[in-house]
Amino acid sequence: MAAHSLGFFFLLLLILISMVMKTPAAAHGATRRSSTQNLDVRKHLKRLNKPAIKSIKSPDGDIIDCVHVTHQPAFDHPLMKNHTIQMRPEFHPEGLFSGSKVSSGSNAKQRSRPITQMWHSQGRCPEGTVPIRRTRKDDLLRASSLQNFGRKKRPTIPQPKSADPDFISQSGHQHAIAYVERDKYYGAKATMNVWEPRIQQPNEFSLSQIWILGGSFGEDLNSIEAGWQVSPDLYGDSNTRLFTYWTGDAYQATGCYNLLCSGFIQINNEIALGASIYPLSRFDAAQYDITILLWKDPKEGNWWMQFGNDYVLGYWPGFLFSYLSDSASMIEWGGEVVNSEADGQHTSTQMGSGHFPHEGFGKASYFKSILIVDGSNNLRVPKGIDTFTEQSSCYDVQIGNSDNWGTYFYYGGPGRNPNCP
């Protein structure tokens, strides 16, 4: 009996020794993986966050770095090594301020209000610099991978005339848009009111934007996009932010949001891409809107962006694109959301104000003063404008015309509701 107990004791001792010997190796492996990930994250942050001349802490928690204009991420691109920054466009579209009138109704709530960015309350960036929202470690860790950080998951663009319903329903993205096609376009302009839609899950987003599109909707789509968005996954909060996006290959290997990769060249020191917009529209109260103009410089071939009537932000060099190096074949204006369809139910992520178009001004979201830039570099009202939405019971769009607003439309909706289960 004593021998049996002694044997059992030695067996137990051997097992314990074996466990002790294995544990450090496993722990070492985990530590090594963690150390490698931390090193990769630090390298990526160093690539994105350029040395700042000045840094500004925004009330919303953002840090805005004032980076010398020649040190911004655009110049990481191999084709930018000898690029001379174009500090102003050679040409603006003719009739720049046409179509920008606001409602002249006697009710003060029907007048547009000025918009700024939250970080402005704490300071401004000096001349010769550009404001860049600092990327944090947590921002990178929320991404599915470092390579995917700052990129859209494809596909996100609808095909109004030739859409395969199965393709659309599987894409996980839904839209309520107005669009024009079957011509050559050299830019677009619109004024849109700005809201803070509620997002159901962090991996979903809601945005309102202008799309400048060239090529097919397969592997070679060229797209330039600008507007406002709420994206907890990208920014770590539910603030409404100004954003841009571009891709030269249908969201595969090129392009990104804002300045999160080389591409867009910013020249303006007052507006930060990715920064919070303030104030915002409120239901049945004051409405705040922004105006965005995108256009192709007919001399240099670069695609420019203007915010409001005062801020020319910068440009996408023409060499980033294949089809858009000539012209766009389609323009879209409107809203987009991600519908993750958890548990087979439609998302309750809101588009725009979260209210349907028929509710009208002060309640629904809108685009007004819709214009395109033609081959003569003139701003004009688009011909043959159509609308598109996958599920009008979830998000809808209604177009109209008036003397004050020109061509306009209301759009959006609540997502899941009794008619959109």
What residues are annotated to the active site? 225, 336
DSSP string over 328-377 = EEEEEEEEEEE---GGGPPP---BTTSS-GGG-TTTSEEEEEEEEE-TTS
Q: 418, 408, 307: which is closest to 364 by C-alpha?
A: 408
Length of the chain in terms of residues written: 421
Query: Which residues are CB-neighbours of 128 under 8 A, at least 6 positions away?
Result: 68, 69, 269
Are the beta carbons of 71 and 52 closer than 8 angstroms?
A: no
CA distance 103 to 107: 9
- For the four alpha carbons of 57, 37, 154 and 76, in that order, the dihedral sign comes to positive
Query: Which residues are CB-neighbours of 103 under 8 A, at least 6 positions away?
Result: 110, 111, 112, 361, 404, 405
CA distance 172 to 338: 6
User: What 8-state DSSP symbol labels residue 143?
Assistant: S
Beta-ladder partners of 68: 129
Burial environment of residue 410 by CB neighbours within 10 A (0 to 12, 13 to 18, 19 or more):
buried
If DSSP codes are grouped into helix, strand and coil, which group holds residue 223?
A: strand
How far out from the chain centre does Cα 55 lie? Answer: 23
CA distance 363 to 376: 38
Radius of gyration, CA atoms only, the chain: 25
Residue 302 CB: number of other CB atoms within 10 A?
Answer: 19
- b/e 5-38 (16+ beta carbons within 10 angstroms → b): eeeeeeeeeeeeeeeeeeeeeeeeeeeeeeeeee
